[in-house]
Chain A
Amino acid sequence: MPRYTIPQCPELLLTVPNSDPEKARYKATQKLIHLINENQLDVQIPEGFSTRQLIEITEKDLMAQGEDKVIEAVKTLSKLSASRRKVQELHEQALEARHQIDILFEDKKITAEEFEKIEEGFRALKEFATANLRYKEALPNAETARLLIDQALESPESPKTK
């Protein structure tokens, strides 16, 4: 829902349910004059104040300065979590595949079924290796992200430590 304010009262936020910008501005101006006429808003807007003079407030405008970094940190941690889960899930399959590989070095005859298992195991090994690599790569960034989140979670009232 679009949000608007006016230079005369920047703390005012006029929210209107309309996606068409022209109509949204019109509705927001109607809201504004209603507030003024009902004495719910003590501001003077100049004669001829146009709907185009409303200032649109976007989601980005409402974000805190470090908000972008927090979002990035959460993304990094989320990536770490996903890769860690994958690594865990594939670990057993990878061990099994590793065991299948040893058959290739034995003298006995390998059946078609065993070949199929071995080839499936390669896929599992590849996936495990990729996930593990991603996890290892994500780890240092995630450390930094963890620190940032800790800072962001610090309560404003909590005593600052030197």
Chain B
Amino acid sequence: MQYFSHFYKLSTTGEEIWLDPRMDRDTGLFIDPFFVFRSEIPTFSNAKQKFLDFFRAAFELAHEAKRSGTALKKLENLLKFPEVMEIRLGLSVGEGGAGPGSKFAKACAGALVRLAEKGYRGLDHFEEIEIFTKGIGPDGISDATANILKYELIQYTQEICEQFSIPTKKFLIDNAQFDFHDRRWDHATFSLPENPCLKNKAVLLVPKEFLCTIHAIGSDGFSEYVSRNKSEELRADLNYEIEKSFSKATIIDIAEKRPEWVSEYIQYVENEANITPYNLEEDEKNLYRNTRKAFDFASLNPIPLSASNDEEFLQFVETIIQQFRLCVEEQGCFKLLWNDAQKLTNSDEAERKPRDENTAQCLFSSIVTSYCQANNIDISREVETGRGPVDFKFSSGYQKRALVELKLAKSSKLKQGRLEQLPAYLRAKQIQHGYYVIIVYRKKEFEKIEKLLEEAEKVDFGDLLFKVVTVDAGLDKPSASNI
């Protein structure tokens, strides 16, 4: 796990308007052209015009493509937007996503030709193509946007590099510029910062205000809009019953029969709907904030970890869990486990809602991952951490498996009677060390844990080790407890 600012040792505050990207994998966010058009960042002031010009050129080809296979081929080439690995955004998990490539180009070209047949000559918001087309996902729209805006993103990154004196080197950037005269993409060289986790790839920084998880204009929004505003016409004219959500085929059918509704919907999104970029401070979908905080915590509180025998392994697991507890209880990370984290005060605990188990697991797994990576310890399936058995592989060659399961005290899954099967489960999985890390949000939840501990005492674990560790995430915490 490595962030841009960390690698380049930047003194950033977190208040920067650009996303500090994780460089070893993609963050599940997308660029929304809708927010790009609204941006007041000078580097992107010409973005909307650039999109309009690009799609005007695409539509010219789409009109030619009605009669010419060569023009269709050229249109598909024009709309081939390779994944912009330099921005490290998207749906992929791990080493860069697959990218939409040819599939997206074919789907998009087909949609433009169909729209051209209906007389279209351009689109104000190209992302509305998604409403008319099957097979275009948010990754595709985001990649298309990043390709069209590549030159601006390069300039933007170079400005930041200058501001922070970040070293750069030359990179060959694919689809760096679009040649409007020849209607083709140019690959070009630019001085950019290097991504140490991706061979021969630069880093391109993206303003936070461009980011979303769902595009402002898209088929989901359109479906909701017509359900809410066009119910009578849908029933009477198009013979559709109002459903909670329409299938994609239905959405395409409605959009093709009533293109004026698509225009109305876009007008509504532009003028009335309150759509904002993804809030990274709240990070409702656990895509960035908690992982980042965990990484920062581990960087600020380094601990040398290793194990070459069972005793050291025990020490290792307990140290990591203790670090998690320290992070939550004493370093303010409990706030990350509540909604509206930034506005929390001690007095309004009753009105605040704790976040779900996934949020806590995400924070916990990020702490484990950060410490393991800092100490060159391989762990099996990072995403599973906090939800079951984890294989740890140390540089000494020693390997061991432990059950480290994180649960919320308030969870209905933390019921009595479940511990009885645990020894058999641990043995079946060849695990000697089992830990329940339980997050407590409110004082009354401690009673539940007392009962769980009473139950644990009755269970015969034999030679197995089983421990329950509580972590107090309450807003007015008593002193830390390890029961």
Contact = CB atoms under 8 A, between A and B. Distances in A.
A49 B186 CA distance: 10
Contacts of A30: 172, 200
Contacts of A52: 186
A51 B169 CA distance: 17
22 contacts: A26-B172, A26-B187, A29-B189, A30-B172, A32-B189, A33-B170, A33-B189, A37-B169, A45-B170, A45-B189, A47-B190, A47-B191, A48-B151, A48-B176, A49-B189, A50-B177, A50-B186, A50-B189, A51-B172, A51-B187, A51-B188, A52-B186
Interface of B: 151, 169-172, 176-177, 186-191, 200
B188 to A, nearest CB: 4
A36 interface: yes
A157 to B, nearest CB: 43
A29 B187 contact: yes
Interface residues of A, number: 14
Given A37-B169, A50-B186, A51-B186, 10 more contacts: A26-B187, A32-B189, A36-B170, A47-B191, A48-B176, A48-B189, A48-B190, A50-B176, A50-B187, A50-B188
A11 to B, nearest CB: 20
Nearest to A26: B187
A50 B169 CA distance: 16
B172 A48 contact: no
Interface in A1-27: 26
Nearest to A45: B189
Contacts of B200: 30
A29 B172 contact: yes
A13 to B, nearest CB: 18
A63 to B, nearest CB: 31
Contacts of B170: 33, 36-37, 45
B43 to A, nearest CB: 14
Contacts of A48: 151, 176-177, 188-190
Nearest to B192: A47
B204 to A, nearest CB: 14
Contacts of A50: 176-177, 186-189
A26 B186 CA distance: 10
B198 to A, nearest CB: 15
A32 B200 CA distance: 13
Contacts of B186: 50-52
A32 B171 CA distance: 10
Contacts of A37: 169-170
A37 B171 CA distance: 9
Contacts of B172: 26, 29-30, 33, 51
Contacts of A29: 172, 187, 189
A33 B168 CA distance: 12
Nearest to A22: B187
Nearest to B188: A50
User: Which interface residue of A29, A32, A47 has the most chain B CB atoms within 10 A?
Assistant: A47
Nearest to B194: A37
A47 B151 CA distance: 11
B294 to A, nearest CB: 34
3 closest cross-chain pairs (CB), A and B: A33-B170, A50-B188, A50-B186
Nearest to A33: B170
A30 B187 CA distance: 11
Contacts of A47: 189-191
A48 B151 CA distance: 9
Interface string A34-51: 001100000001011111
A34 to B, nearest CB: 9
Nearest to B158: A47
A42 to B, nearest CB: 13
Interface in A78-122: none
B481 to A, nearest CB: 55
Contacts of B189: 29, 32-33, 45, 47-50
Contacts of A51: 172, 186-188
Contacts of B151: 48
A36 B169 CA distance: 9
A37 B198 CA distance: 16
A32 B169 CA distance: 12
A36 B172 CA distance: 12
Contacts of B176: 48, 50
A162 to B, nearest CB: 55
A128 to B, nearest CB: 58
